[in-house]
């Protein structure tokens, strides 16, 4: 698999799971502007891999600017700088990526692949949209694209209408959703809010006395505090935080962790109020197109935590 990340806290958990699980061949990672700047996300990705003893995993820095900048002033983000530290408290400073050509590396890697590769997209879809625009043939080497993004019956988390990864680059998301990907699995907030990590979990991870357990407890502590600070009556009240990105890797390891349904996902790229909204047509009528995605409507929390624990104890 190849992970596309904007390493932030839940990306760090996803990265740790993919790097530590024995059944996963992590071909490499690409980074992109999202939670943080491209350079901060790249540094954090390198820090996490160093901290868990997986510095051999290639990191290729991708795009530092959106595929299509928003025509509107960005909605004020009350959580700006709250959920994801500029610098994760793990690993060492001064590490450098294998290249600053993430999109080109993705295209070259897929073109020379000798077996199909799963792409796990847990950040704005900027890099993948660019790759598909330059080289649509790369889909011949793609086993499945798993996207953390969007929402159906839940409101957005960046605006009332839109989830962060889609809101950050809606035109990129539209390019991906319309690209004719044979096996596109979308993991929205409806599912990711069902896999919460709690302070009790952090204590358990620390007691594992593994590097992976240390990294995940270190990065999620700040993440839980952020939810408590910004959503004290919701998830924060549970002293927990949703591990959005980690659920995508858990699904790649054990698909039964998600309950999926075939839908058509459209992305709003014009309306100022609904910019970045994912509209879900489960009747395949209004959108006029056959289902383009398998959409996760629920997640199995117990199974998720079993998969995560299995990665952290190594
Ligand atoms: O909405 C959740 C997504 O936004 C996750 O990928 C998280 O890392 C943030 O980027
Ligand atoms: Ca992310």
Query: Where do the domains of the chain lie?
Result: 2-69+94-312
6 labelled catalytic: yes
Could you list the beta-strand ranges (E) of the chain.
Answer: 2-5, 28-31, 59-61, 117-121, 142-148, 184-187, 196-198, 240-242, 258-267, 278-281, 293-299
Is the beta carbon of 245 within 6 A of some atom in ligand 1? yes
Verify whether ligand 1 is closer than 6 Å to residue 249 (CB atom).
no
Cα→Cα distances 177→166, 236, 262, 270, Å: 11, 32, 13, 16
The rounded Å distance from CA 286 to ligand 2 centre is 31
In the reported structure, the alpha carbon of residue 2 is separated from the centroid of ligand 1 by a whole-number distance in angstroms of 17
Atom of ligand 1 nearest to the CA of 124: 10
Calculate how far, in angstroms, residue 7's C-alpha sits from the geometric centre of ligand 2.
6
pTM over 0.85: yes
- The CATH superfamily label for domain 2-69+94-312 reads Ribonucleoside hydrolase-like (3.90.245.10)
Indicate the top mutation candidate among 16, 29, 35, 66 to test ligand 1's pocket, ranked by most ligand atoms within 8 A of CB.
Answer: 35
Burial classification of residue 67, based on how many CB atoms lie within 10 Å of its CB (0-12 exposed, 13-18 middle, 19 or more buried): buried
Residue-level pLDDT, tens digit, the chain, 314 residues? 999 999 999 999 999 999 999 999 999 999 999 999 999 999 999 999 999 999 999 999 999 999 998 998 887 777 777 788 899 999 999 999 999 999 999 999 999 999 999 999 999 999 999 999 999 999 999 999 999 999 999 999 999 999 999 999 999 999 999 999 999 999 999 999 999 999 999 999 999 999 999 999 999 999 998 888 888 888 878 889 999 999 999 999 999 999 999 999 999 999 999 999 999 998 866 666 678 999 999 999 999 999 999 999 99
CA distance 156 to 150: 8
Q: Is the CB of 165 under 6 A from ligand 1?
A: yes
pLDDT at res. 286 = 65
Pocket of ligand 1 contains residue 9 by CB under 6 Å: no
282 touches 266 (CB < 8 A): no
Residues 4, 6, 10, 174: which is the catalytic one?
6
Q: Which atom of ligand 1 is nearest to the CA of 157?
A: 1
Check if 277 has its Cβ closer than 6 Å to any atom of ligand 1: no
How many Cβ atoms are within 10 Å of 279's Cβ, its own excluded?
A: 16
């Amino acid at each position: 698999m190849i992970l596309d990340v904007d390493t932030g806290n839940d990306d760090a958990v996803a990265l740790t799971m993919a790097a530590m699980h024995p059944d996963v061949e992590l071909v490499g990672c690409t980074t992109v502007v999202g939670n943080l700047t491209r350079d901060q996300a790249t540094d954090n990705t390198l820090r996490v891999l160093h901290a868990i003893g997986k510095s051999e995993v290639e990191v290729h820095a991708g795009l530092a600017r959106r595929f299509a900048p928003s025509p509107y002033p960005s909605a004020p983000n009350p959580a700006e700088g709250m959920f994801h530290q500029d610098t994760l408290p793990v690993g060492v400073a001064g590490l450098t990526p294998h290249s600053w050509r993430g999109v080109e590396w993705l295209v070259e890697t897929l073109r020379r692949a000798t077996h199909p590769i799963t792409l796990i997209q847990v950040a704005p879809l900027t890099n993948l949209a660019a790759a598909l625009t330059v080289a649509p043939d790369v889909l011949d080497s793609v086993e499945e694209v798993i996207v953390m993004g969007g929402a159906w019956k839940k409101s957005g988390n960046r605006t009332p209408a839109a989830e962060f990864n889609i809101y950050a680059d809606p035109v990129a998301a539209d390019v991906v959703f319309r690209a004719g990907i044979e096996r596109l699995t979308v993991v929205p907030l409806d599912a990711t809010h069902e896999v919460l990590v709690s302070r009790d979990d952090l204590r358990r991870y620390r007691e594992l006395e593994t590097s992976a357990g240390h990294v995940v407890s270190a990065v999620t502590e700040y993440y839980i505090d952020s939810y408590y600070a910004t959503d004290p009556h919701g998830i924060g009240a549970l002293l927990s935080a949703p591990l959005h990105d980690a659920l995508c890797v858990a699904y790649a390891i054990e698909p039964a962790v998600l309950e999926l349904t075939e839908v058509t996902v459209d992305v709003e790229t014009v309306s100022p109020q609904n910019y970045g909204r994912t509209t879900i047509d489960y009747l395949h009528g209004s959108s006029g197109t056959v289902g383009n995605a398998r959409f996760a409507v629920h997640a199995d929390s117990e199974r998720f935590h079993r998969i995560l624990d299995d990665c952290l104890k190594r």
